[in-house]
Amino acid sequence: MFMILNVVNGAGMEILVGARLRAVRVRAHLSQRQLAKRAGVSNATISLIESDRISPSVGSLKRVLDGVPMSLSEFFGADTGADARRVFFPAAEHVEIGKGKISYRQVGADLLGHSLQLLAERYAPGADTGKIMLSHDGEEGAIIVAGRLEVTVGAQKRILGPGDAYLFDSRLPHRFRNLGDEECRLFSACTPPTV
């Protein structure tokens, strides 16, 4: 079975398959779960490809891209790194990648070429990232701007208010909950991007 590792384009630049798939998915306004459902693969498969933990076969990548839809030639020929050259991002161009009671407004639609993800987050009253704790490679941090947010990292738990902040290794299981009756707003950064 032929596995796609990273490919070198005509300009001699390496194309990272995981980062490119993430950029294409975000540009199509799809979550990992939505793309997985469309492609008929597991959510874990999309996550593993995007984090470069597995290298898909040509057939597997084509199946995933059919969920966008996009051909292999479009995928490898697409200039998905346009935002890597940009410096300024007007508020109207921030991309919503959250849903339900949690809003994540991402700076830049295309994170290819960036190792940092910036988000303006909003948690409605009662919003919760879920009983199953989150964990992923990297680090993340934020400063609370308004409201209060319960942050759990490993065995530590704290309720943070305006001006309070957190910074931790994202491999530690973590969870965020708005237990109050007013919206909580914060600005966060994550490296590498998790979208």
47 and 96 belong to one structural domain = no
- Of residues 151 and 111, more confidently modeled: 151
CATH number at residue 161: 2.60.120.10
50 and 95 belong to one structural domain = no
28 and 95 belong to one structural domain = no
Structural domain range at position 123: 91-191
Judge whether 39 lies within some domain. yes
The amino acid present at 30, given as its one-letter code, is L
Judge whether 156 lies within some domain. yes
CATH number at residue 55: 1.10.260.40
Residue bearing tokens 């597995």: 54
44 and 136 belong to one structural domain = no
106 and 74 belong to one structural domain = no
11 and 65 belong to one structural domain = yes
Judge whether 86 lies within some domain. no
> Do residues 175 and 134 touch, judged by C-beta distance below 8 A?
yes
Give the integer Cα–Cα distance in Å for 13 and 66.
25
> Do residues 149 and 158 touch, judged by C-beta distance below 8 A?
no
> Do residues 190 and 117 touch, judged by C-beta distance below 8 A?
yes
110 and 143 belong to one structural domain = yes
* Residue 106 CB neighbour total at 10 angstroms: 22
Residue 3's pLDDT band (cuts 50, 70, 90): very low
* Residue 49 CB neighbour total at 10 angstroms: 22
Domain end among 49, 80, 111: 80
Number of domains in the chain: 2
97 and 186 belong to one structural domain = yes
* Residue 116 CB neighbour total at 10 angstroms: 13
What digits encode the pLDDT tens for the residues 74-113? 777 655 555 567 789 888 888 887 888 999 999 987 676 6
The sign of the CA dihedral 124, 91, 93, 9 is: negative
Q: Reduced to 3 states, what is the DSSP secondary structure of residue 76? A: helix
Give the integer Cα–Cα distance in Å for 188 and 191.
10
Asked whether the predicted pLDDT for residue 71 surpasses 90, the reply is: no
178 and 101 belong to one structural domain = yes
100 and 184 belong to one structural domain = yes
Judge whether 58 lies within some domain. yes
Residue bearing tokens 């007007």: 90
CA terminus-to-terminus distance, the chain: 28
Judge whether 136 lies within some domain. yes
Residue 9's pLDDT band (cuts 50, 70, 90): very low
pLDDT at 13: 39
